[in-house]
Structure 1
């Protein structure tokens, strides 16, 4: 069986994820496609992840892709998480991952409605959705608060988990909007405030055309292997949130080739993607929390020393801002309230590595300007550095 070393996996990451300076790009869409999809739970992450991989980083290019030509779209998809991906990749991710998530979101909301003492049902939800879409079409774009003001039904309160210790009263507006967004009937438009804000306005949208889920999973698996392979079956299962049967079927349909990894585990590579690659030039990167280069695998041992984990992850398993050197995670970084970028190395990488990290920090500071970025998921090292 062909063996692919951890060093080769790190070399592939630097080149395929567009992190080495010689392979950076001027296209936002090319960045998204290089990593299949960008984590978008934290609004700032999309900008930080894209600009780390661009020859000329800047807010304007990402804004244009998200809100002008909409070549970059957001979907609640893998692992019930918000991702941004290119419009070309979106139909496959929609069919393979977003549709099942949307169905579960709708069923969850309907369950809460039926359990409420007001006796709300599926017809009430359909009527409320129709009124919400009509109000949004009239306004063009609106925040959740503005939609609630325009649609009285959105101001309805329901009791969640009645009769239990978790019983609480909540408004339905955010839940109805979440279901409409998951169904692809509305989408996030420009936020109120800067690019770091998550207070989005909403606008109407058309759902993606239906396609065969199995074919879509095959396409997604193939793209993921070309970006993240070689990797294990467990890595793909974790990244997508699919069941084990769907994962194995997708790997087989994508003609994945089995390889041996340095860990002794069996991995999978894209068909014909076995040859060793030359290392790019030495490179460093400052990547944001939840960046795809850190979140592409369940098993990150080839890039992340075990003794770094406690400092770089929160209690839920979310990775914070990271410092990279030649495909490995060697530290973490943060931005202080006064705007200063600070970092701490957890590995000794020598003078050349330290100098390149300083250059990347200067590059990051130059395009972020006066913006202040605080990760939604804060980690021990990030908190310590900002304190």
Structure 2
């Protein structure tokens, strides 16, 4: 360990987490835009996660507040960005995410689509693809919003399908509509609109968007530095590998972005080398002890690649699926202590996997569960990515 580097211990990291990610009771937000700002972006692969994660951090949890930002005001924008993952980010951050990650992701998605179509479907080439996309945009321009089924009914090209892995046990028939709409969304040319059902629904309408290529944005290196700075302010101190994993950048791009922020090397507990912003090296007062029930794929639980400082390795098999997706978790004072689920009758149930915190933690978790049950009401939430403990508890 180098004694010339500042040291930030695990307690200091947990204090920052509770305060800056709005999980400690006295630090919750009034508006969902503040939540998105605090965590940089809300995971949006599972539509329920956006609402559950936001409401866990709102002083007055209400799904309508999230819907206002997503669908009425447009102040929260879904983007396929970091790690090719769908995030909901504040509108002001869209140019930074577009330049730092989303444009590169969209370019790869388009190249993959062109290759898939031209190799798997006779008669498809880039010209026909462009014509089909123009028809989709024209329909949306006329209607204002449409589901994938409604678009398919009006754009004949979307009705075609391609057999994937022919002759293999996992052979499948895939509609070209899903791939084409995904690429248009990745480019920002269309956006996910209001769902057809409630806030947990995966059935939604598409609306016209503005292509990210047309959004005035800083050059990519400058945008990566801006995103790295925002991430460190919320998730630092952390390791270079944490940021590389979270963004999906190359190691070289990650190091260059960190250098541009002026990040300082620090030591973390266990002798690990981390980085922190130069104005974030001093002690941070711990908030009052807090408990939270966070959803699967919550931005905090998925915020770092190295998680031992808040997730005990022996809990991983119960709380993480085989693809690395973290399910619903119970938190106490900056670390995960268990998991939770909702049963078919709507009851919120949980299990603590450690006795850390004792009776104080148990009481606080019960209060957090009651708070969650109160605002969820009669809505039934089933995580898209299910983990062993969540499955067991939900029975």
TM norm structure 2: 0.96
The correspondence of residues 1-387 of structure 1 with structure 2, limited to 5 A, is 1-161=5-165, 167-208=171-212, 209-211=215-217, 212-348=219-355, 349-387=357-395
| 1: CA distance, partners of 2:354 / 2:167 | 52
Paired with 1:62 and 1:194, the residues of 2 have a C-alpha distance of 12
C-alpha distance in structure 1 between counterparts of 2:163 and 2:216, whole Å: 35
Q: Which runs of 5+ in 1 are unaligned?
A: none
Question: 2: distance between equivalents of 1:46 and 1:147?
Answer: 26
Specify every segment of 5 or more residues in structure 2 that has no aligned partner in the other structure, as ranges.
none
Hey, what's the Cα distance between the residues in 2 that align with 1:373 and 1:59? 13
Q: Deviations over 1:114-150 (max 9, x none)?
A: 1125131000110000001001111110110010001
Structure 2 Cα separation of the partners of residues 186 and 149 of structure 1: 18
Q: How many Å separate the matches in 2 of 1:207 and 1:104?
A: 15
Question: C-alpha distance in 2, partners of 1:338/1:277?
Answer: 42
Moved more, 299-308 or 206-215: 206-215
Distance in structure 2 (CA, Å) of the matches to 1:363 and 1:66: 23
Distance 2:43 2:339 in 1: 18
Tell me the SS of whatever aligns to 1:332: strand
Shift >4 Å, 4+ stretches: 161-167
Q: Distance in 1 between matches of 2:162 and 2:128?
A: 13
Alpha carbons 1:95, 1:210 under 8 Å: kept: no
Kindly provide the CA deviation profile for residues 28-70 of structure 1, in whole angstroms up to 9, marking residues without a partner as x.
0010010101100000000000000011000111010000001
**SS state of the match for residue 339, structure 1?**
coil
- 1:295-318 deviations in whole A, cap 9, x for unaligned? 010000111111111110001000
Give the paired residue count.
Answer: 387
Q: Distance in 2 between matches of 1:158 and 1:347?
A: 49
Q: Once the 2 structures are TM-superposed, how far is the Cα of residue 166 of structure 1 from its aligned partner?
A: 5.5
Q: Give the superposition deviation at 1:271.
A: 2.0
In structure 2, the CA distance between the partners of 1:296 and 1:117, relative to structure 1 (3 Å rule), is closer
The Cα RMSD (Å) is 1.2
Question: In structure 1, the residue corresponding to 2:205 is in which secondary structure?
Answer: strand
Q: Matched residues in 2 for 1:166 and 1:366: separation?
A: 43
Q: Deviations over 1:251-274 (max 9, x none)?
A: 001111110010211100012110
Stretch deviating more after TM superposition (208-217 or 125-134): 208-217
Partner Cα distance (1:166, 1:381) in 2: 28
Structure 2: distance between partners of 1:29 and 1:311: 32
Provide TM-score, normalisation by structure 1: 0.98
Q: 1:369 to 1:289 in 2, by over 3 A?
A: same
Matches of 1:91 and 1:162, distance apart in 2: 41
SS at match of 1:89: helix
